[in-house]
Amino acid sequence: MDERTESRILEKAQYISEALAVLVQKRESLSFADYRAQREQRDIVEREFETTIEACIDIGKMILKADGETIPPTNVQVFHELERQEILDTKTARKMAQAAGFRNILSHQYGNDINDEDVYNFLHQNLPLFHEYLGQVRDFLD
């Protein structure tokens, strides 16, 4: 992998880390009632998740491209290919593939079409996933 690609991956990893800090703050400060009642807070959480997952997808694509692999046609398949290449473990690949589906919902739906409870639950249950992903990417880069 060339230095430029590795540098771009590290920049995206830094972005993810910063976004996770925002999401942790929201997780710790918002009850579900507050989350549901405050559109601005929902918008922040939804956008941070959307861009965080997109950055994870971008990292995966850069890794695959740098290794001479064909980029899969769907974002979900990117994570399965990273598993096949033994860059991600099965559990992380499966959960990141689910996160890619979640990103699609956030990207293509809005307002009442997004289930606030699902987003709030994702906030409370899935932040460690992104740390796992970044850790496995860093292991690969090392």
CB atoms near residue 48 (< 10 Å): 20
Tell me which residue range forms the domain holding 89. 3-141
CATH number of residue 48's parent domain: 1.20.120.580
User: What spatial distance separates the first Cα and last Cα of the chain, rounded to whole Å?
Assistant: 11
The overall average pLDDT reported for the chain is 96
* Chain position carrying tokens 């919902």: 105
* Chain position carrying tokens 């409370």: 124
Q: Residue 88 phi/psi, 5° resolution? A: -115, 150
Q: Say how far apart CA 17 and CA 34 lie, in whole Å.
A: 25
Domains in the chain: how many in total?
1
Which tens digits make up the pLDDT trace of 7-63?
999 999 999 999 999 999 999 999 999 999 999 999 999 999 999 999 999 999 999
Q: Say how far apart CA 141 and CA 111 lie, in whole Å.
A: 39
Which tens digits make up the pLDDT trace of 91-103?
999 999 999 999 9
Split at pLDDT 50, 70, 90, the class of 69 is: confident
